[in-house]
């Protein structure tokens, strides 16, 4: 049997009914296959969007220094010429400005394969070339990545690894309070590949046991078939503080747990009671902010301490202004309840945000392509790239440091699309013109490729062989090639091998190994790891023939913080006190107005609390039909659109007040930008909100003299600002917009065809 794998699932390779074409079908033991996979082949084989030959931007060849980067045509060239230009440009920038002027951008999900991991390939190449400025953290959960080491003494990755297994939640939990819900949209995906989607079945088991499932979210669909608390967006911290207040007032706080396992409770308690600022954080106080009923808040507080309770936070909670605060407040609430470290209760982060979180599977650290050591120590928080480009030499705060933005002359981007992930894309597009050169390895004409100077066509995962080795998944797959590469596309390894040859370090980059030899090397190293884990892997030849290997006895149910709770003296946390910090002196000493030393209610920079009557809160969550912007050109995503525009969701009463009907094309706008979308109506969304998923390919145009994104990309509307001076994470979920019917002629999409390309090379 032949297989392949992706971030949204694993697949058997099959023939179609006519036996003339290759097709894929989900693994037979996957209980809930992803919808995303139904559009994968069509996206990978979409000839209109694939990059077929190396291309160089015309203006770059003419020496425009990036001025026309976002609105230019391309010249197709041979691979030899493309490699020559890319290698000589990297050499020029290094020689003139130093390696600290090179930014290595490989942020994105690229491939589930272990070898063809774009970030590893790029970093290995740039490290051998003298180094580069890198990025830290993720768009997914940067606020958590920075604050958890302070308050939990664990990295976000370590905490995710330690997460209480969902089967234990289904067995023991009586109240699951889910902030941001547990979404089936994001439960489809896993960053290193996944063989089974189990989150839906675990949720069904919870419902069957009549567990009280509470979805605290402006959208009902974030946790289907549950009790919906339609909170006002951005006010979750206020609700959490009020729940703590009511527990304290009722005399039900677990003082033994607080004394033994936490530090700083006295300071937080004084804030809750209003002793430090004159404002008691009562349910009456929170009800007005959250648009919830005070009696319901009081009743829930008492139930949480009376029953087996889990406080669960989704990743999206912290992608907002002051995003650290709800995470910290949720942890503090769990400490007051005092059930952390017990089976199925306590505190969790990320259930449903990614398929493996809470999966009861043994963790195995498999080998990967070695990246080497970066000689350049400089970095930026990943979501601050536009600030770096627009403000070279400027200062910013990050995790207790005062840092300086480098001056970037060259960007090399592989395996990702920042014109999907980043906020305020009109601002970002301006910033993108600042470097002297942008080089991109990419398989399709994404917005990033269209805004590059040198475009090197890469293969898709379906056009190469690889191995799925996920440390959180018990299934190992040999990823067979489905198709020959389209056009002249090459694997990233082959591209960097050619570049390394031109720069004089091919042997160091390849170590004398071709792709198959590297796969054998990775498998051989994996065999050593397997032996250490107590089982044997088959030979590489057998693995290739069978295509699949399942780790024996892979089930392992973990309980978050269990060892710490069982013996806090023998297993202290790596925090300033060795315990969970409810008041953190290190953070307090940073003197950040946007991230104080304990969980605090801070109003977002844009909020419905101060909105004008016609403004709505924008919810820009993950889509159901694709992963971020991947597969947007596929059949599943395109079939879900309305007149080729991404669908936006409004409450029927909200639409009626604005004279809008299902199927209308609407313009969504604020001071940062505007986009078009197709309208769908749903009673499962707050009346003061509008939902528009991320990932529609960025298609900005000028209509009647004004900028307009015509495809439905919400990131022309979102704010490019750090969550706080602590994490500098993105705040995609903090934005206000207005909506109106679009009555002018509907613009054609430019993303449906390649950029303007001249087929004959021009001299530089």
List, by residue number, the catalytic residues: 107, 109
CA torsion, ordered 155, 191, 544, 199, to nearest 10 deg: 100
Q: Is 18 left (phi over 0), alpha (psi -120 to 50) or beta?
A: alpha
462, 486 contact by CB (below 8 A): no
Residue with tokens 């007032």: 249
Taking alpha carbons only, the member of 658, 673, 674, 574 closest to residue 614 is 658
419, 448 contact by CB (below 8 A): yes
Coil, helix or strand at residue 758: strand
Residue with tokens 């302070």: 150
Element holding 143 (H helix, E strand): helix 142-151
Distance CA 312, CA 304 (A): 13
Instruction: List the end-to-end C-alpha distance of the chain, in Å, as a whole number.
Output: 49
Strand partners, 500: none
426, 118 contact by CB (below 8 A): no
Q: Is 703 left (phi over 0), alpha (psi -120 to 50) or beta?
A: beta
Rounded-to-5 percentages of helix, strand, coil across the chain: 35, 20, 45
Concatenating the DSSP letter of every residue in 345-414 gives -EEEE-BTTBTTTT--B-------------S---EEEGGGHHHHHHSTT-EEEETTEEEEPPPPSEEEEE
Instruction: Find all residues with CB under 8 Å of 220, minimum gap 6, and list them.
Output: 228, 230, 683, 684, 685
Please tell me the number of Cα atoms within 13 Å of 542 on its side-chain side: 7
Q: Is the dihedral of CA 501, 505, 506, 510 positive or negative?
A: negative
| Three-class SS of 36-99 | HHHHHHHHHCCCCCECCCCEEEHHHHCCCCCCCCCCCCEEECCHHHHHHHHHHHHHHHHHHHCH
Distances (CA, A) of 366 to 103, 155, 511, 642: 28, 19, 20, 43
Coil, helix or strand at residue 581: strand
The token pair at 166 is 């969902």
DSSP state of 100: G
Residue with tokens 């020689």: 95
Taking alpha carbons only, the member of 134, 167, 171, 203 closest to residue 376 is 134
Concatenating the DSSP letter of every residue in 698-750 gives P-EEEETTEEEE-S--GGGTS----S-TTT----TT--EEEEEE--SPPPPPS
701 CB-contact burial (10 Å; exposed 0-12 / middle 13-18 / buried 19+): middle
Distance CA 86, CA 80 (A): 10
649, 662 contact by CB (below 8 A): no
Residue with tokens 């001071």: 671
The token pair at 591 is 């003197």
How many other CB atoms are there within 10 angstroms of residue 355's CB atom? 27
Distance CA 203, CA 214 (A): 12
Strand partners, 478: 467
Distance CA 219, CA 691 (A): 9
């Amino acid at each position: 049997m032949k297989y392949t794998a992706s971030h949204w699932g694993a697949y058997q390779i099959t023939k179609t009914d006519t036996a003339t074409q290759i097709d894929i079908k989900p693994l037979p033991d996957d209980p809930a296959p992803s919808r995303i996979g139904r559009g994968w082949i069509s996206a990978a084989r979409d000839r209109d969007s694939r990059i077929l030959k190396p291309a160089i931007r015309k203006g770059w060849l003419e020496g425009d220094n990036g001025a026309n980067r976002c609105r230019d045509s391309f010249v197709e060239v041979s691979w030899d010429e493309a490699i020559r230009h890319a290698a000589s440009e990297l050499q020029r920038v290094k020689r003139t400005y130093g390696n600290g002027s090179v930014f290595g951008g490989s942020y994105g999900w690229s491939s589930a394969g272990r070898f063809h991991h774009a970030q590893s390939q790029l970093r290995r190449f740039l490290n051998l070339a003298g180094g580069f400025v890198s990025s830290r953290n993720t768009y997914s959960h940067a606020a958590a990545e920075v604050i958890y080491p302070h308050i939990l003494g664990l990295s976000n990755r370590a905490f995710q690894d330690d997460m209480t297994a969902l089967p234990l939640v289904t067995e023991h939990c009586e109240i699951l309070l889910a902030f941001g819900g547990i979404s089936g949209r994001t439960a489809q995906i896993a960053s290193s590949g996944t063989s089974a989607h189990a989150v839906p079945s675990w949720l069904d088991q919870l419902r069957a046991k009549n567990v009280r499932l509470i979805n605290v979210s402006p959208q009902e669909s974030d946790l289907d078939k549950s009790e919906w608390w339609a909170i006002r967006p951005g006010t979750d911290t206020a609700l959490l503080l009020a729940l703590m207040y009511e527990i304290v007032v009722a005399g039900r706080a677990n003082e033994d747990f607080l004394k033994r396992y936490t530090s700083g409770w006295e300071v937080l308690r004084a804030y809750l009671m209003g002793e430090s600022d004159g404002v008691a954080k009562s349910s009456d106080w929170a009800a007005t902010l959250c648009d919830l009923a005070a009696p319901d808040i009081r009743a829930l507080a008492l139930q949480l301490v009376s029953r087996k309770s889990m406080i669960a936070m989704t990743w999206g909670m912290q992608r907002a202004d002051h995003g650290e605060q709800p995470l910290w407040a949720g942890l503090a609430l769990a400490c007051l309840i005092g059930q952390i470290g017990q089976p199925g209760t306590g505190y969790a982060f990320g259930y449903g945000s990614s398929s493996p979180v809470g999966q009861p599977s043994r963790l195995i650290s498999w080998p990967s392509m070695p990246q080497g050591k970066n000689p350049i120590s400089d970095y930026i928080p990943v979501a601050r790239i536009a600030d770096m480009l627009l403000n070279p030499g400027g200062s910013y705060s990050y995790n207790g440091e005062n840092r300086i933005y480098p001056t970037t002359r060259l960007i090399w981007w592989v395996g990702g699309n920042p014109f999907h992930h980043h906020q305020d894309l009109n601002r970002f597009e301006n910033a993108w013109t600042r470097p002297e050169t942008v080089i991109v390895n990419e398989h399709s004409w994404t917005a990033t490729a269209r805004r590059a100077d040198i475009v090197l066509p890469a293969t898709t995962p379906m056009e190469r062989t690889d191995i799925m080795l996920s440390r959180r998944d018990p299934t190992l797959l040999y990823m067979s090639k489905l198709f020959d590469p389209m056009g002249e596309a090459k694997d990233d390894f082959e591209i960097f091998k050619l570049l390394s040859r031109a720069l004089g370090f091919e042997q160091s980059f390849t170590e004398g190994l071709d792709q198959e030899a590297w796969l054998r090397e990775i498998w051989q190293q994996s065999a050593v790891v397997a032996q250490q884990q107590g089982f044997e892997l088959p030979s590489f030849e057998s693995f290739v023939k069978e295509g699949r290997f399942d780790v024996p006895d892979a089930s392992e149910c973990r309980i978050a913080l269990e060892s710490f709770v069982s013996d806090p003296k023998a297993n202290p946390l790596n925090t300033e006190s060795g315990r969970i910090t409810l008041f953190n002196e290190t953070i307090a000493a940073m003197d950040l107005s946007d991230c104080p030393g304990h969980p605090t209610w801070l109003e977002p920079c844009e909020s419905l609390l101060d909105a004008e009557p016609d403004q709505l809160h924008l919810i820009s969550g993950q889509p159901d039909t694709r992963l971020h912007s991947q597969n947007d050109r596929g059949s599943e995503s395109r079939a879900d659109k309305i007149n080729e525009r991404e669908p936006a969701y409004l409450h029927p009463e909200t639409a009626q007040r604005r004279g809008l009907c299902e199927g209308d094309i609407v313009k969504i706008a604020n001071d940062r930008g505007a986009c078009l979308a197709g309208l769908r109506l749903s009673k499962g969304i707050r009346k003061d909100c509008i939902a528009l998923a991320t990932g529609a390919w960025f298609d900005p145009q000028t209509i009647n003299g004004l900028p307009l994104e015509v495809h439905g990309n919400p990131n022309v509307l979102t704010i490019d600002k750090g969550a706080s001076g602590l994490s500098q994470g993105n705040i995609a979920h903090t934005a206000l917009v207005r909506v109106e019917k679009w009555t002018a002629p509907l613009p054609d999409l430019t993303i449906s065809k390649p950029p303007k390309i001249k087929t004959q090379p021009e001299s530089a």
